[in-house]
A and B are shown apart, each in its own frame.
Chain A
Amino acid sequence: MEDDDQQKTSDLLQELVLRLVSQNPQTPNLDLNSPAFLKTLRYAFRILSSRLTPSVAPDATAIAESLKRRLATQGKSSDALAFADLYTKFASKTGPGSVNNKWALVYLLKIVSDDRKSAINGLDSSILLPNLGLGDAGNGILRGGEAKKKDWSNGVLLVSKDPENLRDIAFREYATLVKEENEVTEEVLVRDVLYACQGIDGKYVKFNSEIDGYAVQDSVKVPRATRIMVRMLSELGWLFRKVKSFITESMDRFPAEEVGTVGQAFCAALQDELSDYYKLLAVLEAQAMNPIPLVSESASSSNYLSLRRLSVWFAEPMVKMRLMAVLVDKCKVLRGGAMAGAIHLHAQHGDPLVHEFMMSLLRCVCSPLFEMVRSWVLEGELEDTFGEFFIVGQPVKVDLLWREGYKLHPGMLPSFISPSLAQRILRTGKSINFLRVCCDDHGWADAASEAAAASGTTTRRGGLGYGETDALEHLVTEAAKRIDKHLLDVLYKRYKFKEHCLAIKRYLLLGQGDFVQYLMDIVGPKLSEPANNISSFELAGFLEAAIRASNAQYDDRDMLDRLRVKMMPHGTGDRGWDVFSLEYEARVPLDTVFTESVLSRYLRVFNFLWKLKRVEHALIGIWKTMKPNCITSNSFVKLQTSVKLQLLSALRRCQVLWNEMNHFVTNFQYYIMFEVLEVSWSNFSREMEAAKDLDDLLAAHEKYLNAIVAKSLLGEQSQTISKSLFVLFELILRFRSHADRLYEGIHELQIRTKESGRERNKMQESGSWISEGRKGLTQRAGEFLQSMSQDMDSIAKEYTTSLDAFLSLLPLQQCVDLKFLFFRLDFTEFYSRLHSKG
């Protein structure tokens, strides 16, 4: 078979050669056996044997397609269609007699046509020969052809139907045009822009102070589009300059201590960002010189960076730099917590890039602030050399430490710390300082470390950062809880706050009844003397005696020691009653609660209560004398009936008046003692139990005292009514003296009568002189009783009017309890009826 094929092949080849040679116009008709013919034949054989395998994949349709396309692009579309048609018909022919190796044929046709085309183009044939050595002859020929085609046609339309050439021409014209317009190549401009973005003037792009930006110099000729592009890109340079100048300024000002720790942290954060920016610029500069790696090797490209590529690269740094410049503008004048707050406001942004950036910046900036908060909350230390913290301390006296030692500075409060949190922070630090200074207690350190452990941070530095406001809040809450509890424990247990309050209530607010009674008994007569004659030592002695005589002696010695007699500054006309008062000495740390003003208010209440007690005491004294006894009742049988009647009526009036006054005083005292003092005290003790920190305690105490003052009609709104009250008190005291006089007079009369009786008995023999004495006595008695009853009447009238005035003012008061008092005072509507009648 093989031999058969070989023979056929050689026969066919011979035939082919013969035909081709005969077709060749140059070689003359040769016969078969000429040596030239044989040589040609041998040559042909050699060619055939040199390449046995084709280099292209045997895909007839692909080759046909490429042929068709080539025809189409050459403008021979009708030919292309015809070819396609023919090929389909050709390909559909199968069976005996058809061509089996279709692709080979089509490929052959292709190559031959290509060769012919290149031959027609008049290329030197010797040049073609080396192409035979190439592996893929088809492609090689093709490429060579095209390249030559390019070089060949320089403006002369060789194949006028070829639109590819038109495109080429247009490109080339454009390139020459661009070259003419630009003096400067794009590479140089790119490099200059990169310099500008670091704030350095380049060869062509310099900083122009008129327009305040980097721009290409006017002398350089560049197209307007490039100029605008360079302007846009160098905005980055302008922003960079701004930020850099801010940083250098701050660094310069630092020794002058105008820039605080927060400002420094801000500069540090900015410098970090700028170093990242430098890195980017360095990478870009390195890349600027490299060409772009392309997939195809023949096309050459320009340098990697063009102005357009730069603008893409600069998009992100532009955003960041703009943010930094805005912040720099904002923060030029701010310091400390205000700066942190301003930056925080800018961080409220939706863009995730901006948000990320701001978060990292803020973390840096707020670290000194958070550090300060931490050390304040856990140790009570205020390390604030630049005045940036929102808590300021002032040097004050020890007793004012709590109230005024530390204050909030709202200007420095950053906006991410809420005011309530700030209050808690303030209170915690204040408590630690208070414990340390006033209570002399060191157990708070344990509480602080417990708090830190509980909230998951440590007591060391650097535990917290921005963005962890929750953690900070947690820490502060824990610390506050513990330290407040510790403080209250110390106050209650070590300093016995509750017991002191109770002692004040019992002594200053006359809670200890038996003590007050004894005191009044002992001190009372002494106080009626003018104030100058009374010495405080005597009074102190009386106080001691009263304490010993009552249940107060079983009280805690410490508290009794603090109780003292105080003589208020007095003028000449004052009596002892006006200047006497008790005082209670409060030492550190309780004097934060019992300050001077608080104690003076207690004093006012004490005075009022003391007056009330005095009045009550007076009335009780009258009652003692008014007791019906033998002296008054059955010894006047000897007197005349008129006198007796007068006497009886005087006595009766006295008793009635006493009753009224007593009713009033009892009710009023009950009101004060129980409804005001006891109720306020129970409210206060309840609040003391519930108090969580010293501020609460102070507030509760204030409330307690205010309630007492207001309800006892000592407040500002009650001035008129308290005046009328004091008038009533005066009247009662006057009544007392009158009643005393009345009973003294009666008593004297009694004795006189008895004496005169005795005398009469003795002087029965003398006769009329005795009866004269008796008449004189009666007359005297009558006169005395007359004057007495008149006085009594006047007192009664005054009393009624004053009480009326008092009662009319009573319902106008705000306090609800006073309404009950009014009801009780007037429960039979006795006075209202009198009022309506009169």
Chain B
Amino acid sequence: MDEEASRTARESLELVFRMSNILDTGLDRHTLSVLIALCDLGVNPEALATVVKELRRESIPESATTIPS
């Protein structure tokens, strides 16, 4: 990446981080960057959100192997 692109990327990340702070998502910059990359690759955002939610929970149930589709 060149200077322009990296600056843009940094600024975008900064904006997104501030937005997510307002919305009180509890995500830090690093996680956010990963999520942004995943979204850009075309992953379903709902699914990503679910992943975030699941992995944040207190305990991971044993029945996680069976996910209703």
> Does B bind A?
yes
Give the B-binding residues of A (Cβ under 8 A). 5, 8-9, 12-13, 15-17, 19-21, 23-24, 26-27, 36, 39-40, 43-44, 46-48, 50-55, 67, 71, 79, 82-83, 86-87, 89-90, 93, 95-101, 104-113, 115-117, 119, 125, 132-133, 137-138
Check B34 against A19 for contact (C-beta < 8 Å).
yes
User: Which of the residues A23, A43, A95, A101 comes within 8 Å of B4, measured between beta carbons?
Assistant: A95
Roughly how many angstroms separate A112 CA and B27 CA in the complex, as a whole number? 9
User: On chain B, which size bracket covers the interface?
Assistant: 35 or more
Check A44 against B51 for contact (C-beta < 8 Å).
yes
Check A40 against B9 for contact (C-beta < 8 Å).
no
Q: Mark B25-55, 1 if CB is under 8 A from A, else 0.
A: 1111011001111111111111111111111
Check A20 against B39 for contact (C-beta < 8 Å).
no
Question: How many Å from the CB of B24 to the closest CB on chain A?
Answer: 6
Residue of B nearest to A138 (CB): B46
Roughly how many angstroms separate A26 CA and B44 CA in the complex, as a whole number? 27
Check A16 against B24 for contact (C-beta < 8 Å).
no
User: Which of the residues A20, A79, A101 comes within 8 Å of B31, measured between beta carbons?
Assistant: A20
In the assembled complex, 29 residue pairs joining A and B whose CB atoms fall closer than 8 Å, in A order, are A9-B38, A16-B34, A43-B54, A43-B60, A43-B64, A43-B67, A44-B54, A44-B55, A47-B54, A47-B67, A48-B44, A50-B47, A50-B69, A83-B19, A87-B19, A90-B15, A95-B5, A97-B6, A101-B39, A105-B35, A108-B39, A109-B25, A111-B45, A112-B25, A112-B49, A113-B20, A116-B24, A117-B24, A119-B56
Question: How many Å from the CB of B13 to the closest CB on chain A?
Answer: 9
Enumerate chain A residues within 8 angstroms of B19, measured Cβ to Cβ.
83, 86-87, 90, 106, 109
User: Which of the residues A52, A82, A90 comes within 8 Å of B12, measured between beta carbons?
Assistant: A90
Residue of B nearest to A110 (CB): B23
Question: How many Å from the CB of A84 to the closest CB on chain B?
Answer: 10
Residue of A nearest to B66 (CB): A46
Residue of A nearest to B63 (CB): A129
Check B15 against A115 for contact (C-beta < 8 Å).
no
Check B24 against A113 for contact (C-beta < 8 Å).
yes
User: Which of the residues B5, B22, B35 comes within 8 Å of A108, measured between beta carbons?
Assistant: B35
Question: How many Å from the CB of A121 to the closest CB on chain B?
Answer: 13
Among A67, A86, A90, A97, the one with the most B-chain Cβ atoms within 10 Å of its Cβ is A97
Roughly how many angstroms separate A101 CA and B37 CA in the complex, as a whole number? 10
Check B50 against A47 for contact (C-beta < 8 Å).
yes
Enumerate chain B residues within 8 angstroms of A44, measured Cβ to Cβ.
51, 54-55
Check B22 against A86 for contact (C-beta < 8 Å).
yes
Check A93 against B8 for contact (C-beta < 8 Å).
yes
Enumerate chain A residues within 8 angstroms of B7, measured Cβ to Cβ.
97
- Judged by DSSP, the binding face of A is helix
Question: How many Å from the CB of A502 to the closest CB on chain B?
Answer: 122
Known A82-B22, A93-B12, A98-B12: A16·B45 in contact at CB below 8 Å = no
Question: How many Å from the CB of B2 to the closest CB on chain A?
Answer: 8
Known A97-B5, A105-B16: A13·B23 in contact at CB below 8 Å = no
Known A8-B41, A20-B31, A98-B8: A112·B52 in contact at CB below 8 Å = yes
Enumerate chain A residues within 8 angstroms of B36, measured Cβ to Cβ.
99, 105
Enumerate chain B residues within 8 angstroms of A27, measured Cβ to Cβ.
60
Known A20-B56, A95-B5: A86·B18 in contact at CB below 8 Å = yes
Check B8 against A95 for contact (C-beta < 8 Å).
yes
Enumerate chain B residues within 8 angstroms of A67, measured Cβ to Cβ.
23
Check B8 against A125 for contact (C-beta < 8 Å).
no
Question: How many Å from the CB of B52 to the closest CB on chain A?
Answer: 6
Roughly how many angstroms separate A19 CA and B51 CA in the complex, as a whole number? 12
Check A12 against B9 for contact (C-beta < 8 Å).
no
Roughly how many angstroms separate A40 CA and B12 CA in the complex, as a whole number? 30
Known A97-B5, A98-B9: A16·B51 in contact at CB below 8 Å = yes
Check A99 against B39 for contact (C-beta < 8 Å).
yes
Check A5 against B4 for contact (C-beta < 8 Å).
no
Question: How many Å from the CB of A831 to the closest CB on chain B?
Answer: 138
Enumerate chain B residues within 8 angstroms of A117, measured Cβ to Cβ.
24
Enumerate chain B residues within 8 angstroms of A113, measured Cβ to Cβ.
20, 23-25
Known A40-B60, A43-B65: A137·B46 in contact at CB below 8 Å = yes
Given A89-B15, A93-B15, A101-B40, 20 extra CB contacts under 8 A: A5-B41, A8-B41, A12-B38, A13-B38, A16-B34, A20-B31, A24-B56, A40-B60, A50-B47, A51-B46, A86-B22, A90-B15, A97-B4, A98-B9, A104-B45, A108-B45, A109-B20, A109-B23, A115-B49, A133-B68
Enumerate chain A residues within 8 angstroms of B59, measured Cβ to Cβ.
26
Check A132 against B60 for contact (C-beta < 8 Å).
no
Enumerate chain B residues within 8 angstroms of A19, measured Cβ to Cβ.
30-31, 34
Enumerate chain A residues within 8 angstroms of B54, measured Cβ to Cβ.
43-44, 47
Roughly how many angstroms separate A83 CA and B19 CA in the complex, as a whole number? 6
Enumerate chain B residues within 8 angstroms of A97, measured Cβ to Cβ.
1, 4-9, 12
Going nearest first, the 3 A-B pairs with the smallest beta carbon separation are A97-B5, A97-B8, A113-B23
Enumerate chain A residues within 8 angstroms of B52, measured Cβ to Cβ.
20, 112, 115
Known A15-B34, A97-B4: A51·B44 in contact at CB below 8 Å = yes
Residue of A nearest to B19 (CB): A86
Enumerate chain A residues within 8 angstroms of B51, measured Cβ to Cβ.
16-17, 20, 44, 47-48
Residue of B nearest to A133 (CB): B68
Check A79 against B41 for contact (C-beta < 8 Å).
no
Among A93, A112, A132, the one with the most B-chain Cβ atoms within 10 Å of its Cβ is A112
Enumerate chain A residues within 8 angstroms of B24, measured Cβ to Cβ.
113, 116-117
Question: How many Å from the CB of A124 to the closest CB on chain B?
Answer: 11
Roughly how many angstroms separate A202 CA and B55 CA in the complex, as a whole number? 67
Enumerate chain A residues within 8 angstroms of B40, measured Cβ to Cβ.
99-101
Residue of A nearest to B64 (CB): A43
Question: How many Å from the CB of B57 to the closest CB on chain A?
Answer: 6
Roughly how many angstroms separate A52 CA and B53 CA in the complex, as a whole number? 18
Roughly how many angstroms separate A13 CA and B46 CA in the complex, as a whole number? 15
Enumerate chain A residues within 8 angstroms of B35, measured Cβ to Cβ.
16, 105, 108
Residue of B nearest to A125 (CB): B57
Roughly how many angstroms separate A54 CA and B24 CA in the complex, as a whole number? 23
Roughly how many angstroms separate A51 CA and B42 CA in the complex, as a whole number? 12
Enumerate chain B residues within 8 angstroms of A8, measured Cβ to Cβ.
37, 41
Enumerate chain B residues within 8 angstroms of A51, measured Cβ to Cβ.
44, 46-47, 50
Question: How many Å from the CB of A159 to the closest CB on chain B?
Answer: 14
Enumerate chain A residues within 8 angstroms of B49, measured Cβ to Cβ.
108, 111-112, 115
Roughly how many angstroms separate A111 CA and B51 CA in the complex, as a whole number? 11
Roughly how many angstroms separate A9 CA and B47 CA in the complex, as a whole number? 13
Enumerate chain B residues within 8 angstroms of A23, measured Cβ to Cβ.
28, 31, 56
Enumerate chain B residues within 8 angstroms of A21, measured Cβ to Cβ.
55
Roughly how many angstroms separate A106 CA and B54 CA in the complex, as a whole number? 19
Roughly how many angstroms separate A117 CA and B26 CA in the complex, as a whole number? 10
Residue of B nearest to A18 (CB): B34
Roughly how many angstroms separate A119 CA and B54 CA in the complex, as a whole number? 11
Check A20 against B55 for contact (C-beta < 8 Å).
yes
Among A48, A71, A99, the one with the most B-chain Cβ atoms within 10 Å of its Cβ is A99
